Amino acid sequence: MKFPKNNIIDNWLNDNGNPEIARLVEKNLALSEKINSILNERDIKKGEFAKMLDKSPSEVSKWLSGTHNLTMKSINKMEFVLGIDLISIEPIKEIEYVYLGSIPGGCIEDAINGYEETNYSEAS
């Protein structure tokens, strides 16, 4: 979504020059552009999308303008009704264990030197 060169957001950012706000605006625009693109691909009208969200068309229009500060609740609602992830956050992985096989008793150095790599795979 492209805004006219002379708009209130760009003017405010130019006057205040806050990189944090600029990043927020950029992300809001990217997110609204992604949602608008998905709606276009699926041929979903904004009024229909508003009904899916149980929101007023004016509120959804504001959300999709890219100038509204979306909450996680509203983003989650849009993700749910569209059946997609708009924001992908990788979960923190727990410790993964790797099976190395058994090492026979005795001297640890002999066991390390005598270790043979195996192609162990867990049975399904």
Domains of the chain with CATH codes: 8-82 (1.10.260)
pTM over 0.75: no
Lowest mean pLDDT among 6-10, 52-56, 100-104: 100-104
Residue 40: predicted pLDDT: 96
Counting other chains too, the contacts that 73-82 makes at CB distance below 8 Å and 24 or more residues apart are 75/31, 77/53, 78/35, 78/53, 81/49, 81/52, 81/53, 82/35, 82/38, 82/42
**Does the pLDDT value for residue 76 go beyond 70?**
yes
